[in-house]
Amino acid sequence: MEIPQVHFSDLKAVGCRYTVQAILLCFWEAQNVKKGSELLGVDMLLIDAQATTIQFFINVHRTSYPSQRRFGIF
C-alpha cells in the first residue's frame, strides 16, 4: 500500500497523524547569552516538495534534547 504524499499546506491546525517528508534547511540552538548561554530551545526551518517553508521552535523543556540531538529526533 502506497503512503499518500502530504505537504505542509495540507495540514490543519488541529492534531493530525500525518508524516510529512521535508528537507531541513536550517537548524540552530537558541541560547540565553545573559544566563551563561543557557539553552532555550531549537529553531528549525523546513521545506517540502512544493517549496513551502515552515519555521518552528521547540522549547528545551518539551524534549530530552541531548539524547535526541544524536539521532536528529525532535
The predicted-structure confidence for 36-59, as pLDDT tens digits, reads as follows 878 788 888 888 888 888 888 888
The overall average pLDDT reported for the chain is 75
- Model pTM above 0.85: no
Residue spans of the domains in the chain: they are: 22-71
Please write down the long-range contacts of 6-13, taking CB distance under 8 Å and 24 or more positions apart.
7/48, 7/49, 7/50, 7/52, 8/46, 8/48, 8/50, 8/52, 8/54, 9/50, 9/52
